[in-house]
Amino acid sequence: DVKVTQSSRYLVKRTGEKVFLECVQDMDHENMFWYRQDPGLGLRLIYFSYDVKMKEKGDIPEGYSVSREKKERFSLILESASTNQTSMYLCASSHGEGGQYFGPGTRLTVL
């Protein structure tokens, strides 16, 4: 079975803090994705990566950056957290154009 893990299930941070969310997959997938999910807005793509050291902007990249130094790990960075970044953050991975497999999510609250 594909396993995608995320560093934290719940996180509380203060406005202006730098936040790191980490995601690791164990299936040697080349594609990795970060989404946020908000009530009424569904899943929105923040960034994705097709290969190590490669990244592409999704639909809502503003206020976020990413890092992919190793194939199995994809990090999402909030340089200066703001209250409107309070959300559920979901990481996913896939192979080719196949379906994506999600981690359990990180519920981030920014105070």
Partner 1 sequence: RKEVEQDPGPFNVPEGATVAFNCTYSNSASQSFFWYRQDCRKEPKLLMSVYSSGNEDGRFTAQLNRASQYISLLIRDSKLSDSATYLCVVNGRTGRRALTFGSGTRLQVQP
Nearer to partner 1, 13 or 101 (CB): 101
Q: How far, in Å, CA of 86 to CA of 26, rounded?
A: 28
Q: How far, in Å, CA of 69 to CA of 53, rounded?
A: 6
Nearer to partner 1, 12 or 14 (CB): 12
CB of 18 to partner 1, least distance (A): 25
Integer angstrom CA distances of residue 92 from 27, 37, 56, 84:
11, 13, 15, 22
Nearer to partner 1, 5 or 15 (CB): 5
3-state secondary structure of 35: strand
CB of 109 to partner 1, least distance (A): 14
Which residues bind to partner 1, rule: CB under 8 A? Answer: 31, 33, 35, 40-43, 45, 48, 50, 56, 58-59, 90, 94, 96-105
CB of 16 to partner 1, least distance (A): 28
Q: How far, in Å, CA of 47 to CA of 62, rounded?
A: 10
CB of 90 to partner 1, least distance (A): 6
